[in-house]
Amino acid sequence: MPFRCATSLAARRRRLRTASESTRTRSPGRTGRVTTRTWIVGGFVAALVGFGVITLVALEGREVVVVETIASGGEAHRTRTWVADDDGALWVEAANPDRPFLRDLEAAPAAVVERGGRRLTCGATVDASTDGHRRIRTLLAAKYGWADRWVALLADTSRSAAIRFTCQPSS
């Protein structure tokens, strides 16, 4: 008799398992397998996320300063940018002549630069010449390396201007 009960229990388990599998709800046409389309979409999303992460690390992974300028209307512009040191001064790049902080500096050549938790009051000299462009590109390439090359793929800096800041600690 115990043998028969064991067989009945095993038979009941099989029937329950078969019944539960047949009552699962699936969308029409879904086989439960990963399709080529899913792989393509997943690969695209992964590539997009990877691109974003690499770009974020390139832009923010090394030293970034904040240049605070005052526009002619009195509003403050705060610009995050890379910085290089040369000849006892700070050098930053305005990627193109349309950058608002560059226009502010051309109108009033003074700024506050936040660097390493310190606020520095600075005078600014804009060098939009070919030599200025070459100088800032060389300085940033030397300091930022692969990140500078990555950003060059994304942003056209062929018309960039060099800005030389001579600074004093703010009081």
Put simply, whether the predicted model's pTM sits higher than 0.85 gets the answer: no
Q: In which band, very low, low, confident or very high, does the pLDDT at 6 lie, cut at 50, 70 and 90?
A: low
Indicate the domain borders of the chain. 63-169
**pLDDT bucket at 46, cuts 50 / 70 / 90:** confident
Cα R_g (the chain), whole angstroms: 31
pLDDT value at 65 more than 80: yes
| 55-59, 88-92, 119-123, 145-149: segment of lowest average pLDDT | 55-59
Which of 30-44, 48-62, 76-90, 110-124 has the weakest average pLDDT? 48-62
Question: From CA 111, how far away is CA 109, in angstroms rounded?
Answer: 7
pLDDT at residue 15 tops 80: no
| Range with the poorest average pLDDT among 52-56, 116-120, 131-135, 159-163 | 52-56
- For the chain, give the mean pLDDT: 82
Integer Cα distance of 91 and 124 in angstroms = 9
The CATH topology of domain 63-169 is: Pnp Oxidase; Chain A (2.30.110)
**DSSP readout, the chain?**
-HHHHHHHHHHHHHHHHHHHHHT----TT--SSPPHHHHHHHHHHHHHHHHHHHHHHHHHSS--EEEEEE-TTS-EEEEEE--EEETTEEEEEESSTT-HHHHHHHHS-EEEEEETTEEEEEEEEEE-SHHHHHHHHHHHHHHHTHHHHHHHHHS--TT-EEEEEEEEE--
Which amino acid appears at position 102 of this protein?
Answer: L
Buried b (16+ CB within 10 A) or exposed e, 54-64: eeeebbeeeee
Most confidently predicted of 19-33, 40-54, 121-135, 137-151: 121-135
Give the C-alpha separation, 154 to 144, whole Å. Answer: 15
